[in-house]
C-alpha cells in the first residue's frame, strides 16, 4: 500500500472563496498578525481576536468545498493508498469535501478550547470573551487555533508519517511558516517522492522533486486521477 502524506494550505480553499494570508490583499494585509494571531495579542485585546475568528468562522460556514477538496477525499477512499491528510487550514472544507480523517495542525474554527483546563468542544458560530468552559466553568474559552509561538498539534504523528512516506505532496501553501514548511526536507530524507501543487512557485519549491503550477481545482484532480489510473 502506497503511503502518501498530503499537506494543504490556504491556497486549496481560495477557489471556495476563503482568503489566503500572503497573497495580494490577503488576511495579513488586512490584519496585523501580532494583534490577531498571537497569545500576546489575545492577552492585550481578546475582543479583537474573538471578533477576527468570528468573522472567519462566519465566512467558512458559508463556503463550499471545491474539486480539489473532493479529489483528495476520493484518493483517501481508495484502498490502495494510505493517505495522511494534514492541513494548516482551520476551515472545515476538507471534511465537507468528504475527507476523513483530517489532521488540523493549526487548530479549527469549529472547535473551542478552554485556556484553563484544555477541554475542547464544538465552537458556537459566535464566541464571546470570557465565555465559560462547559467542563470547568472558568470564563476561559478561546478559539482552538494555534497562534504564532504556540506548538502545532499532532506533530509526533505527522513526523512518524513523514518518515514512512512514499509520497509527500504540498498543496496551496507558500512554505513560509514552520514547522509545516520543513516537512518536505524530512520527506526527502526518508526517500519520499516530493511534489508541490501550487498557483505559483512557493519559497520552498526548490526542495521538491517535482512541481506543477495552476489553480488547485485543476492541478489536484489531475494529480489524483493520474495516481488512481496507475
Contact letters (x/-) for ligand APR, 184-203, by CB under 6 A?
--------------xxx-x-
Residues present in the chain in total? 230
Please, are residues 113 and 142 in contact by the beta-carbon 8 Å criterion?
yes
Q: How many beta carbons lie within 10 A of that of residue 155, not counting itself?
A: 11
Q: Using the rule CB under 6 A, is 21 a contact of ligand APR? A: yes
31, 69, 104, 106: which one is catalytic? 106
- CA dihedral for 152, 61, 213, 199, sign (positive or negative): negative
HSE of 141 in the Cβ direction (CA atoms, 13 Å)? 20
Q: Using the rule CB under 6 A, is 98 a contact of ligand APR? A: no
Contact letters (x/-) for ligand APR, 51-90, by CB under 6 A?
-------------------------------------x--
The answer to whether 167 is a known catalytic residue is: no
Among 162, 173, 196, 211, indicate the residue that binds ligand APR (CB under 6 A): 173
Residue 210, strand partner residues: 195
Query: Could you tell me the smallest distance in angstroms from the CB atom of residue 34 to ligand APR?
Result: 12
Pairing status of strand 167-171 against strand 2-8: parallel
Please, are residues 180 and 159 in contact by the beta-carbon 8 Å criterion?
no
List of residues contacting ligand APR (CB under 6 A): 9-11, 14-15, 20-23, 26, 88, 106, 172-174, 176-177, 198-200, 202, 215-216
Catalytic (active-site) positions: 106
Amino acid at each position: 500500500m502506497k503511503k502518501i502524506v498530503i499537506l494543504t494550505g490556504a491556497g486549496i480553499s481560495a477557489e471556495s472563496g476563503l482568503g489566503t494570508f500572503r497573497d495580494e490583499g490577503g488576511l495579513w494585509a488586512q490584519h496585523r498578525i501580532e494583534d490577531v494571531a498571537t497569545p500576546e495579542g489575545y492577552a492585550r485585546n481578546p475582543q479583537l481576536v474573538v471578533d477576527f475568528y468570528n468573522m472567519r468562522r462566519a465566512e467558512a460556514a458559508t463556503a463550499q468545498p471545491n474539486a480539489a477538496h473532493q479529489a483528495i477525499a476520493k484518493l483517501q477512499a481508495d484502498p490502495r493508498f494510505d493517505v495522511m491528510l494534514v492541513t494548516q487550514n482551520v476551515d472545515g472544507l476538507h471534511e465537507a469535501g468528504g475527507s476523513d480523517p483530517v489532521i488540523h495542525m493549526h487548530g479549527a474554527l469549529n472547535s473551542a478550547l478552554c485556556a484553563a483546563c484544555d477541554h475542547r468542544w464544538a465552537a458556537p458560530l459566535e464566541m464571546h470573551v470570557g465565555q465559560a468552559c462547559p467542563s470547568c466553568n472558568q470564563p476561559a474559552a478561546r478559539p482552538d487555533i494555534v497562534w504564532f509561538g504556540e506548538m502545532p498539534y499532532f506533530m509526533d504523528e505527522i513526523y512518524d508519517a513523514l518518515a514512512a512516506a512514499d509520497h509527500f505532496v504540498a498543496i496551496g501553501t507558500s512554505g513560509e511558516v514552520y514547522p509545516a514548511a520543513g516537512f518536505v526536507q524530512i520527506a526527502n530524507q526518508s526517500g519520499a517522492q516530493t511534489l508541490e501543487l501550487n498557483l505559483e512557485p512557493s519559497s520552498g519549491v526548490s526542495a521538491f522533486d517535482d512541481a506543477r503550477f495552476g489553480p488547485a481545482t485543476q492541478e489536484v484532480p489531475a494529480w489524483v486521477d493520474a495516481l488512481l489510473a496507475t
